[in-house]
Chains A and B, each alone.
Chain A
Amino acid sequence: MIKLHGIHKSYRSGEQSVHVLKGVDLHIRDGELVSIMGSSGSGKSTLLNILGVLDGYDQGSYELAGQQVNNLGETEAARLRNKQLGFVFQSFNLLPFKNAAENVALPLYYQGVGRRERNHRAEEFLDIVGLSDRKTFMPNQLSGGQKQRVAIARALVGRPKVILADEPTGALDSQTTLEIMTLLKEIHERGNTMIIVTHEQDIADQTQRQIFLKDGVVATT
């Protein structure tokens, strides 16, 4: 599903250039549930951005679902994100002025799905994450766990090939963390490829494979 080969990435900040990724090789199979671990500064966020086509890379090759991802234009990248990828963020990133169902329906809007079909599918996926009774709630009326469930529904609604979760439980208490992890595993069992970026060992322990990132390279696979 995902093939990374010799990925290099450096950021320029003023005069200085910071070499963050120094040749990452990575292969994630279809339907796998993997975690990417690493201390802060190890480059795991950068890697996630490249995997999510949110950012480009300097060197190497990246193949996502059989398609080469190389120097895509903004429009191409947006289409790819929209079709192939679902994002779950640490800070949920819901639009505060849209209710739960409208937030979930947003990726479908950018896919050009009609309003009626959008609403129908948004409700269906809210049902899957167990929030069918919170459809019209605004984000500020929801608890952290509920917000993350909405975000997960939103990541799923476009039927993407890969779900990318960036510290999905980083802002949640331990009880809610447990619930969200259970939900994520359920979703994985439905046949989704899922990549979870985390720095917590007990989260990583619940995945099939752990990838350690250290100083810009993959340490152990």
Chain B
Amino acid sequence: MLDGLQEILFTLRQNKLRTVLTAFGVFWGIFMLVLLLGAGRGMQNGVWDDFGSEVLDFIIVWSGDTSVAYRGMGPGRKIQLDLADIQAITQQVSGVRMISAERHAGNGTISFERKNSNAQIAGIPDDYFRIKEDVPFNFGRRPNPLDVEEIRKVVVVGSAVADRLFAKGVDPVGKDVRVKDVVMKVVGVFYDKGNRGQNSERVLMPLSTFQKIYGGGAITNNIWLRPAKGVDGFELEKKVLELLKRRHDVSPQDMRGVNSFNMAMPAKNVNGLFVGIDIFIWFVGLGTLTAGIVGISNIMIITVKERTREIGIRKALGATPFKIVSTLLLESTLVTGFAGYLGLVFGVALLELVAFGLRSAGAKLPYFLNPSVDFQLAITALLLLVAVGVLAGLMPALHAAKITPTEAMRAE
């Protein structure tokens, strides 16, 4: 076995050009496939990154002025959602996993010692961050039920605000800040990537505290909800809108009186886009692989043809057909396997280099992040290529093993 391997390596070394050409075809096929898959993955990562730290199934409902006359009331009527709506939704619409109000008080100044920052001020129940469960907290904790119950004067601040008031990376938990002249204790810092980082320019306090400071009673600006597992978010969204429109006497055709946004919509669109990109990548990738395979087949056929005389001599000296065929196949397996492995390594290395370069340069390409490749997939492609390379060599090898030595030796 080892002897046979030495014999093969020797033959390969003596036919450098042929070996290099075969190897390059395989190398290139795998290399390009890895690059393509990596670029595709990078694009997907980049697009998903743009979704920020949002869960992908939330629904947000808000109200505005009616645009359609309904039940004797003219358009332009201002609709105001309130906490009773939330209660009605919980009681009358099934399939709601979580629901939360959100109050806004516009922009205001937040200050700590001598430093000021502008931020959106909002009031939320503790459920709010259970809906935005993917938003990471750099410091401190999320708002809890006691904050709301005891009307505590505490805030969680967005990282953009925290960075301005305190030095970057400093833990501000426990510090007192002034929120529009009301002193409040910081209990947490969150980083919300949504809205290109603008969601992190916010200061959130317990809803009860907000109501006490800014009044407004039981009104809410937005209603956030998430569907229960297995519930169709679009169906739920429709039911909630129907209910709210009925409660506020808004025409079912009115798109402005009560409005909503469902995150599942863009997520669905993006998923569709990715399916398209995936199909494209596989199309091009398989094309490249096919080109590589055709290349190997060609070179294997030429190789065997070119070596007909050599095979004849070997047969005359006592090489059995099995020995001839197995040597040729082992040779092509070695070449394709080694070259494919090199292609894999180089492709992954190049991807890593690009990823590293992007990271260390701090450059942010739009819609491109962390190119990487599914290793199992790449290995599968490699094995496929090697298998086909071997199969491609099998036909001419079997043919070569069949012709008589005299015939073979006559070939020039």
Contact = CB atoms under 8 A, between A and B. Distances in A.
Contacts of A94: 313
Contacts of B10: 98
A19 B212 CA distance: 117
Given A55-B406, A97-B14, A97-B15, A78 B3 contact: no
A36 to B, nearest CB: 16
B3 A83 contact: no
A168 interface: no
B318 A83 contact: yes
A38 interface: no
A47 B202 CA distance: 100
A81 B318 contact: yes
B317 A110 contact: yes
A31 B132 CA distance: 98
Nearest to B318: A82
A75 B320 contact: yes
Nearest to B3: A115
B317 A107 contact: yes
Interface string B298-333: 000000000001101111111111110000000000
Contact of A74 (B7, B14, B320): B320
A219 interface: no
B317 A154 contact: yes
Contacts of A81: 315-318
Interface string A41-58: 000010001001011000
A109 B6 CA distance: 11
B184 interface: no
Q: What is the predominant secondary structure among interface residues of chain A facing chain B?
A: helix
Interface string B1-27: 001001100110011000000000000
Contacts, number: 68
Contacts of A49: 404, 406
Chain A CB within 10 Å, residue with most, of B7, B313, B314: B313
A97 B11 contact: yes
Given A75-B322, A93-B409, A115-B3, A55 B404 contact: yes
Contacts of B317: 81-82, 87, 106-107, 110, 154
A28 B77 CA distance: 122
B321 A115 contact: no
B404 A110 contact: no
Interface string B178-214: 0000000000000000000000000000000000000
A216 interface: no
Interface string A88-105: 010001110110000000
Given A79-B320, A95-B310, A74 B401 contact: yes
Given A54-B316, A79-B318, A109 B7 contact: yes
A93 B6 contact: no
Contacts of B292: none
A63 to B, nearest CB: 20
Interface string B231-242: 000000000000
B404 A54 contact: yes
B400 to A, nearest CB: 12
Chain A CB within 10 Å, residue with most, of B15, B317, B319, B409: B317
B313 A54 contact: no
Nearest to B2: A115
Contacts of A154: 317
A154 B318 CA distance: 12
Nearest to B313: A93
A111 interface: yes
Given A54-B406, A55-B404, A95-B310, A87 B321 contact: no
B15 A78 contact: no
Contacts of A54: 316, 404-406
Interface string A105-141: 0110111001100000000000000000000000000
A107 B312 CA distance: 13
Contacts of B409: 89, 93
B14 A78 contact: no
A83 B25 CA distance: 41
Nearest to A56: B404
A94 B402 CA distance: 21
Contacts of A115: 3, 6
Contacts of A158: 318
B313 A109 contact: no
Contact of B313 (A55, A75, A95): A95
A49 B410 CA distance: 13
Contacts of A97: 11, 14-15
Nearest to B319: A110
A139 to B, nearest CB: 12
Contact of A109 (B3, B401, B404, B406): B3
Nearest to B323: A110
Nearest to B312: A93
A213 B321 CA distance: 32
A100 to B, nearest CB: 15
Contacts of A78: 315, 318-321, 323
A49 B404 CA distance: 10
A89 B402 CA distance: 21
State the 4 A-B residue pairs at the shortest beta-carbon distance, nearest first: A82-B318, A97-B14, A110-B318, A78-B320
Interface of B: 3, 6-7, 10-11, 14-15, 309-310, 312-323, 401-402, 404-406, 409
Given A95-B313, A97-B14, A110-B317, 7 more contacts: A79-B318, A93-B316, A95-B314, A97-B11, A107-B318, A111-B318, A115-B6
9 contacts: A54-B406, A74-B320, A74-B401, A79-B318, A79-B320, A81-B317, A93-B309, A110-B320, A115-B3
